[in-house]
Chain A
């Protein structure tokens, strides 16, 4: 900025210039002042997809936490006399074949889906981060770990989760473990790739030359740079995990039928779906909207955190 004033002095004092040298006319203000919006409004303006995704997800989290207070009744309460009622004032989303209130079941079902989605995203990221850091930094471990990951990756993830669930009793914890195992190979591949490119960076070489110990380099210099792509990946894992959970429950290999989850409600509505489609459609709509919101959030995060990827996809 300082040099600009020197080169283009005020037109009112041309006398300071040597003879034969003409000063350029002062630049007009071509660029209108940018009104940088701050706070929440500015964030929403700059990242509309992320804002929409975060808002819908927030509503779903709200539903999951406050399920008992949203006009729901006991989601497992049977009412044999009031089976398969169409949606009405009493049963907002109708009632299922055992007379249970579908609205209440859908509201409580948000809990299972969100818990599974968030837990798998967190666990798979942590495990993938640890494995990726080790195999990206230790050559000997790399070849062994990556062979194992290649093998696991050639089993389609849903099939892997199904095979794992076939062995254990259906419970929310087991579903989380099974889906996590199915997702870890991809995360560790991603982290390893980032680590491999980072360790060639001059600043890492400088740290090595300065005598920094390897654990410090990994934690101080490598780890922070893997977090941005990992966060983006975690949102997509969360979305995929919720879909996988619903698929597992849907085919009868997921959460036990006593716990209302969106997949379970759909699985129970399956037998009647041709005559009472609403039992399947209400949980389906909630599941789809939730997964959509997480995907939007992930797309927004990717655009914000990784501009190069944003241009590509």
Chain B
């Protein structure tokens, strides 16, 4: 187990190195002069020269990459071209809303999707199963911002139950915090719920056809205990894996959801940075999100033994 953990953790290093290399070289893959790309259309030649100097474009690519990685390892992601603030500071200011939104969405999605998937598998072939699977296809098909607008229109504008937009920090109370995040979390969770429900149903169907489930039935175990104690436990590994992989959907969706609901998080920061071509910020956010994504999946990999003690490394 220890050896596996070490190996698995070490295996993320090349992955992260490639992510870093890609994020760093994005600027140089693009056609044209990187300094001019950063400076944008309205830049004067002086601006371009200044940026060229700050990028150190006169030195070899790999040297610059090495220095950049070294700085990032020390927690320095550079300085925003637009605000002149360190990128790490800007990320720190924006991380709370995004983290809140994501954690809430994961909790919501998992607590809705798994029971739905179990129900669909249990009632396989019935109208309930079809309804759940139909909703899953719908969840995959309706873009997150469309769900967001529909929800905001119905529950905030027409019914006036929840605030339309905005974010309140948790320090100002739990309910104001939650109130602002309910609609964004539902909107963001749509695809994620569809994904988890689908894989839950599929895995449960496989598990429910196994012999030990028949034995459990024969010994008189109740339906609920068969589904949730006997079957779900053995279906856990694929489900948890998909929950981890689906975090990529959440990250992509958060960028859009935060725009729809005017939440001042990392997603908004990304969008603003793109519109201003603030490249250090874009690099920082992409790198951070990818790092989180890799870490989440690493953690899940290492937790497999918890869900299924038969797995030994």
The interface of chain A, by Cβ under 8 A from chain B, is 147-148, 150-152, 154-160, 162-168, 239, 243, 246-247, 250-253, 266, 273-274, 277, 280-281, 284, 287-288, 291-292, 295-296, 299, 311-313
Contact of A168 among B31, B153, B202 (CB under 8 A): B31
Rounded to whole angstroms, the CA-CA distance of A312 and B198 in the bound complex is 10
In the complex, are the beta carbons of B15 and A167 less than 8 A apart? no
Rounded to whole angstroms, the CA-CA distance of A168 and B37 in the bound complex is 8
The interface of chain B, by Cβ under 8 A from chain A, is 14-19, 21-23, 26-27, 29-31, 37, 137-138, 140-146, 149-150, 153, 157, 164, 198-199, 202, 205-206, 248-249, 251-253, 255-256, 259, 270-271, 273-275, 277, 279, 282-283, 285-286, 289-290, 293-294, 297
The smallest beta-carbon distance between A80 and chain B, in angstroms, is 26
* Contact A296:B149 (CB < 8 A) given known A157-B248, A288-B143: no
In the complex, are the beta carbons of B37 and A167 less than 8 A apart? yes
Which B residue sits closest to A149, measured CB to CB?
B18
In the complex, are the beta carbons of A252 and B198 less than 8 A apart? no
Residue with the highest number of chain B CB atoms closer than 10 Å, among A156, A239, A313: A156
Q: B149 contacts which chain A residues (CB < 8 A)? A: 273, 277, 280-281, 284
Excluding A159-B252, A162-B274, A166-B274, 17 further A-B contacts by CB distance (< 8 Å) are: A147-B15, A147-B18, A150-B18, A151-B15, A154-B16, A155-B19, A156-B249, A157-B248, A159-B270, A160-B286, A166-B282, A247-B145, A253-B271, A288-B146, A291-B140, A292-B138, A312-B202
In the complex, are the beta carbons of B252 and A156 less than 8 A apart? yes
Residue with the highest number of chain A CB atoms closer than 10 Å, among B252, B279, B297: B252
Q: B275 contacts which chain A residues (CB < 8 A)? A: 252-253
Rounded to whole angstroms, the CA-CA distance of A280 and B143 in the bound complex is 12
Q: Which 10 A-B pairs have the closest CB atoms?
A: A151-B18, A158-B252, A167-B30, A292-B141, A156-B248, A284-B146, A291-B141, A156-B251, A166-B274, A288-B142
The smallest beta-carbon distance between A24 and chain B, in angstroms, is 35
The smallest beta-carbon distance between A183 and chain B, in angstroms, is 13
14 A-B pairs (CB sep. < 8 Å): A150-B14, A154-B16, A154-B290, A157-B252, A159-B285, A162-B255, A165-B274, A166-B273, A166-B282, A250-B256, A273-B153, A281-B149, A295-B140, A312-B205
* Contact A287:B146 (CB < 8 A) given known A148-B18, A150-B18, A247-B256: yes
Which B residue sits closest to A161, measured CB to CB?
B252
Q: A266 contacts which chain B residues (CB < 8 A)? A: 145
Rounded to whole angstroms, the CA-CA distance of A280 and B149 in the bound complex is 8
* Contact A154:B294 (CB < 8 A) given known A166-B279, A280-B149, A292-B141: yes
In the complex, are the beta carbons of A163 and B286 less than 8 A apart? yes
Rounded to whole angstroms, the CA-CA distance of A1 and B283 in the bound complex is 70
The smallest beta-carbon distance between B95 and chain A, in angstroms, is 16
Rounded to whole angstroms, the CA-CA distance of A30 and B14 in the bound complex is 64
Contact of B290 among A148, A156, A250, A295 (CB under 8 A): A156
In the complex, are the beta carbons of A243 and B248 less than 8 A apart? no
Q: B137 contacts which chain A residues (CB < 8 A)? A: 292, 295-296, 299
Rounded to whole angstroms, the CA-CA distance of A288 and B149 in the bound complex is 13
In the complex, are the beta carbons of B37 and A156 less than 8 A apart? no
The smallest beta-carbon distance between A120 and chain B, in angstroms, is 16
Residue with the highest number of chain A CB atoms closer than 10 Å, among B145, B259, B285: B145
Q: B286 contacts which chain A residues (CB < 8 A)? A: 155, 159-160, 163
The smallest beta-carbon distance between B146 and chain A, in angstroms, is 4
The smallest beta-carbon distance between B231 and chain A, in angstroms, is 16
* Contact A277:B141 (CB < 8 A) given known A151-B15, A247-B256, A284-B146: no
In the complex, are the beta carbons of A251 and B140 less than 8 A apart? no
Which B residue sits closest to A247, measured CB to CB?
B256
The smallest beta-carbon distance between A56 and chain B, in angstroms, is 11
Contact of B259 among A250, A287, A295 (CB under 8 A): A250
Q: A250 contacts which chain B residues (CB < 8 A)? A: 145, 256, 259
Q: A150 contacts which chain B residues (CB < 8 A)? A: 14-15, 18
* Contact A162:B270 (CB < 8 A) given known A252-B275, A280-B149, A295-B141: yes
Which A residue sits closest to B249, measured CB to CB?
A156
Which B residue sits closest to A244, measured CB to CB?
B252
The smallest beta-carbon distance between B193 and chain A, in angstroms, is 15
Rounded to whole angstroms, the CA-CA distance of A151 and B290 in the bound complex is 9
Q: A148 contacts which chain B residues (CB < 8 A)? A: 18
Q: B140 contacts which chain A residues (CB < 8 A)? A: 239, 291, 295
Rounded to whole angstroms, the CA-CA distance of A253 and B283 in the bound complex is 16
Contact of A313 among B27, B30, B202, B259 (CB under 8 A): B202
Rounded to whole angstroms, the CA-CA distance of A187 and B19 in the bound complex is 19
Rounded to whole angstroms, the CA-CA distance of A165 and B256 in the bound complex is 15
Q: A168 contacts which chain B residues (CB < 8 A)? A: 30-31
In the complex, are the beta carbons of B274 and A252 less than 8 A apart? yes
In the complex, are the beta carbons of B143 and A287 less than 8 A apart? yes
In the complex, are the beta carbons of A155 and B252 less than 8 A apart? no
* Contact A166:B277 (CB < 8 A) given known A148-B18, A251-B256, A273-B149: yes
Rounded to whole angstroms, the CA-CA distance of A165 and B249 in the bound complex is 18
In the complex, are the beta carbons of A159 and B289 less than 8 A apart? yes
Contact of A274 among B29, B143, B157, B293 (CB under 8 A): B157
Which A residue sits closest to B30, measured CB to CB?
A167
Q: B251 contacts which chain A residues (CB < 8 A)? A: 156, 158-159
Rounded to whole angstroms, the CA-CA distance of A252 and B275 in the bound complex is 7
Q: A299 contacts which chain B residues (CB < 8 A)? A: 137
Residue with the highest number of chain B CB atoms closer than 10 Å, among A168, A243, A273, A274: A243
* Contact A152:B143 (CB < 8 A) given known A157-B248, A166-B277, A280-B149: no
Q: A156 contacts which chain B residues (CB < 8 A)? A: 248-249, 251-252, 289-290, 293
